Amino acid sequence: MDLTHVRRLIDLLATAPVAELEVEEGGCRIRITRGGGTQPDGAPSAPPAVVAHAPVAAVPPPAPTAAPVAEEALIAAPSYGVFHLSPAPGAPPFVTVGQDVQAGQEVGLVEAMKVFNAVRATQAGRIAAVLVEDGTEVEAGTPLFRLA
């Protein structure tokens, strides 16, 4: 498993109503758990912890942010398929990092069996990160964009 896949699993756990996720793939097993409760000062609990079992290499913790973001939202894939950032090869992407989007705005496409499903913003915000590369195969619910 590569670091990108592990990060996707962490993002998935952050948005799912479960406290623990365990995945086994190709002889590698990863268990990710979410810390419970809050810190004494009222700050939110630590991000999900990753417990890797051999032969997976150690995963460095994510770099701390300067200031916590009030609330981040994710835009997820509506279905299984290949994710596209632009409407056609060579065309400019629907959105770029730093761009403001409105709820319902088309931000990408997911293609499955030559059928294109629009990926739409679930709420207004600013694109903080594109979490999946153009042309990547995604599952329904895979986080594609992070809004700030």
- The residue among 147, 140, 148, 5 whose CA lies nearest residue 75 is 147
Rg over CA atoms, the chain? 17
Q: pTM above the 0.85 mark?
A: no
**Each residue of 29-82: pLDDT tens digit?**
788 877 654 444 555 555 555 555 545 455 555 555 544 444 568 999 999 999
| Tokens describing residue 16 | 């799912």
